[in-house]
Amino acid sequence: MENRTSGNRKSSRPIPAAATLLSSVILGVSIIIAGASVGGSVKKLTAAVEAQTFASSYSAPSNITVNGSAPKTYFTETEAAAYLNMTVDEIKAAITKKEINEYVKTSAGYSISKDVLDDFFEQRAYDTLNSSNADSAEG
């Protein structure tokens, strides 16, 4: 009987332990680097989302609001003075002189419309400008 053996077969050699250890270390380092990279990206993304969210949630058209939502349209004389950057006495004097002629007298004081205050301020600015121009024309 003939003993047939194939000469094409290669015997499997065991992989040395050092090669296995080296490949495991390289794989572990790669996983750590990838994790750090993804973690850094997530932190940047989270910071960008938070900045966008909080930046847009605090934008209000005016700091004078009722219940934190709708713009206030009627002011007390104190609020009107703050709105026009004047003193309360100047507002009361304007009411007495009928420069501000639309208001409601309440038990707490006066209630004046924002539109009336805007008209009053525009008229006063116009009068001041004309007065300044007249003074410079005379001099």
**Structural domain contains residue 2:** no
pLDDT tens-digit readout, 29-85: 888 888 878 777 777 777 776 666 554 444 444 555 555 566 778 898 899 999 899
**Structural domain contains residue 79:** yes
**Structural domain contains residue 33:** yes
pLDDT tens-digit readout, 77-128: 899 999 899 999 999 999 999 998 888 888 888 899 999 999 999 988 888 8
The length of the chain, given as a count of residues:
139
Q: How many domains does the chain have?
A: 2
**Structural domain contains residue 11:** no
Q: Which domain holds residue 121?
A: 65-133
Among candidate residues 59, 81, 112, the one where a domain is terminated: 59
Which helix (H) or strand (E) segment is 38 a member of? helix 17-57
**Structural domain contains residue 1:** no
Same domain membership, residue 122 and residue 76:
yes
